[in-house]
Structure 1
Amino acid sequence: MRRLPIRTLAALAATGALTLTGCGTQTAGTGTEGPADQGRTITAKKVMRLTTTHRETGMTLLEGPTFGGDGGLFVVDVTAPAGEPKVLRVDVARKTSRAVHTDARGAYTSAQFSPYDGRLYLSDYAHGEIVSMTPDGGDVRTFFSGEVDGARMNPDDIAFDRDGNLYVSDSRGLSEGEARGRVVRIDRAGERTDVLADGLAATNGISFDRSYQGLWISELTENRISHLALDADGRVTARHTAIRVDGGLAQTDSIAVDADGNLYQGLHGRAAMIVYDQYGERLATVRLPARTEGLESATNVAIAPGTRTAYMTVSGPAGGYLYTFDALAEGVRQSNGG
């Protein structure tokens, strides 16, 4: 999830989402700016505009693209005010969308379907909660709320293991500029929590690697991607910095992984995405067509399961858009953008 400008923070404070002040004040550039690209260049194509700037919050911000079991693509609008769609379902073939859920308080920064119960799970960054619902937006439940090791989370992105246990990137400490971010594991019953890693610099993206034997995580304020090796019980056995992202003014946002283990690193501050292999080689840069204006961040991506068709969430003053491109390999569960 990208950081938000001052006017948005004021609007969110007025609507009860004051804790989103942790998302910062930095402005951003277009997809054609930035340092010289390495590897191949992939130009994404516009699919459709999903949202426009909300008067109440001063912006729109799409995140968390994830495919449901019926092929529908679900996205969240982080800054949507009460009454406006906070979760949308997109029919990419027909280029239509419809509202799935709204409420009076949530600021949802990611979405994932659980392999255990098939429900849609959302992280509420502002209130430190994880909620779930049926794919049609019904039966809304609070899956987790409260403190973890004495501190409330700022949950950003989420990922499920094969058994339905939830792994959360906790961006705690971002508003203070302190490295207090964490990776938190919540069992599939929502009862037991464990801090797997701490001392992180604004933990943002999180995704399992191809083998489910480790987690890729990005740290927004350090522009780095780390790998956490896991044992059979989901505990961290080793941790190291894997990739240092040369983003210039742009910063590391969400992460997705394809069937070949390649990493798709979203960027805050540039409407583009960088693709690395699992050994850190920069394979490609996904960018928008030349002369595209009013779009500032490419937060996240989902690759349709069993295909190479990728859908990237892009936002800015021009609105919230879906763009598509051909991924380097097929989509798998880890290819849902969290």
Structure 2
Amino acid sequence: MDMRRLSIRPFAGLTAVGVLALTGCGTQTGGSAIDAAAGAGGDRTIRAQKVMQLTQVHEQTGMTLLEGPVLDEDGTLLVVDVTAPAGEPKVLRVDVRKKTSRKVHTDDRGAYTSAQFSPYDGRIYLTDFAHGDIVSLAPDGSDVRTFFSGEVDGARMNPDDLAFDREGNLYISDSRGMSEGEAKGRVVRIDRAGKDATVLADDLAAPNGISFDVDYRGLWFSELTQNRISYLRLDGEGRVVSRHTAIRVDGGIAQTDSIAVDADGNLYQGLHGRPAMAVYSKNGERLATVEVPARAAEGLESATNVAITPGGTKAYMTVSGPAGGYVYTFDALAKGIRQSNGG
């Protein structure tokens, strides 16, 4: 998520930190038309279809920005609204069949940029970009706790997205330095107890999306201001073995946002600046572009992230802009796994 967009207006209830100088279910298929398209790289175009509008632009913040789609055990979708002011829903539960939504959580402080379920304790974990905290909730939104707060190697985080390993340890894209345009970003590992925080990679250009590969051998992460996806290979203890640039995204005016990975290892790269996602194979081949149909794209500026139904191919994409915040659906190229549904 490009958190610089949030610098348009200050957040109500965040005066303690001043104006935020920030940047950025079933297994059924069907419901999206796939067109063979002679685009760049020969990839095909997947036309996403609107499920519903969730939010409108908030008067107090001048924006709405949906992120963090994740499906719970009952198949309902959880979504965060990054720019929701105090009192408005900051975490929503969406029934995609009935096309209804309800508030799960709000507060007077957080700017939450992702939501994930932990495989260790089953709680919902939220990244608070504004304050550098990781917050957890019970699945029903109760029992709010601060899981992690404070500095990591002498500096507070601006946590954007997160992924879990099999044991429930957290891996976070820290977009520190984004507002200054400096490559101070990091990938940070926090153990599942919230006690031990380690920097795995630094000097990054606004890291945003982050996801494990299929076998949990390494992490994919995107750098928003460089439009690139890198691969961080890890050992069995979560230590870095190697790191390299894997994919350079030709986004034009759009920039790399969040990342999800399906059962075939394909990467779904969200785009900020265009209501679309780029899909790549693990070998870097551009396979497809998921797009909002042109007739519906006016007033929509980003497709931040996606959740793919575990064991199925039904995908739900969060799309936002001056026209409001929406959920769109399409057929993914392969089945959903944890890495395409909550890290």
How does the TM-score come out when normalised to structure 1? 0.94
Residue by residue over 1:197-225, the C-alpha shift from the partner in whole angstroms, topping out at 9 and shown as x without a partner, is: 00100010000001100000000000000
| Divergent runs of 4+, >6 A | none
Q: 1:258 to 1:109 in 2, by over 3 A?
A: same
Alignment of 1:129-278 (within 5 A): 129-278=133-282
- Tell me the distance in 2 between the aligned counterparts of 1:317 and 1:15: 25
- Tell me the distance in 2 between the aligned counterparts of 1:309 and 1:279: 24
User: Of the candidates 76, 84, 89, which is equivalent to residue 85 of structure 1?
Assistant: 89
- Tell me the distance in 1 between the aligned counterparts of 2:102 and 2:85: 16
Residue by residue over 1:139-189, the C-alpha shift from the partner in whole angstroms, topping out at 9 and shown as x without a partner, is: 000000000000000000000000000000000011111101000000000
Which residue identity lines up with residue 154 of structure 1 in the other structure?
N
Aligned partner of residue 291 in structure 1, secondary structure: helix
Give the drift of 1:17.
5.6
Alignment of 1:1-338 (within 5 A): 1-5=1-5, 8-11=8-11, 15-16=15-16, 18=18, 20-23=20-23, 36-38=39-41, 39-292=43-296, 293-336=298-341
Q: 1:337 to 1:268 in 2, by over 3 A?
A: farther
Which residue identity lines up with residue 134 of structure 1 in the other structure?
A
Give the drift of 1:269.
0.4
- Tell me the distance in 2 between the aligned counterparts of 1:159 and 1:14: 27
- Tell me the distance in 2 between the aligned counterparts of 1:13 and 1:244: 38
Aligned partner of residue 10 in structure 1, secondary structure: coil
RMSD: 1.6
Larger relative contact order (CA 8 Å, sep ≥ 6): 1
- Tell me the distance in 1 between the aligned counterparts of 2:292 and 2:181: 31
Aligned partner of residue 22 in structure 1, secondary structure: coil
Query: Structure 1: any 5+ residue segments left out of the alignment?
Result: 25-34
Give the drift of 1:20.
3.5
**2:30 aligned residue:** none
Give the drift of 1:277.
0.2
Q: 1:115 to 1:7 in 2, by over 3 A?
A: closer
Give the drift of 1:13.
8.1
Which residue identity lines up with residue 321 of structure 2 in the other structure?
G
For the 8 Å contact 1:17–1:105, the answer to whether it is kept is no
Q: Percent identity?
A: 73
How does the TM-score come out when normalised to structure 2? 0.93
Give the drift of 1:233.
0.2
Which residue identity lines up with residue 2 of structure 1 in the other structure?
D
Give the drift of 1:16.
4.8
Q: 1:271 to 1:12 in 2, by over 3 A?
A: farther
Which residue identity lines up with residue 41 of structure 1 in the other structure?
T
Aligned partner of residue 305 in structure 1, secondary structure: coil
For the 8 Å contact 2:6–2:20, the answer to whether it is kept is no
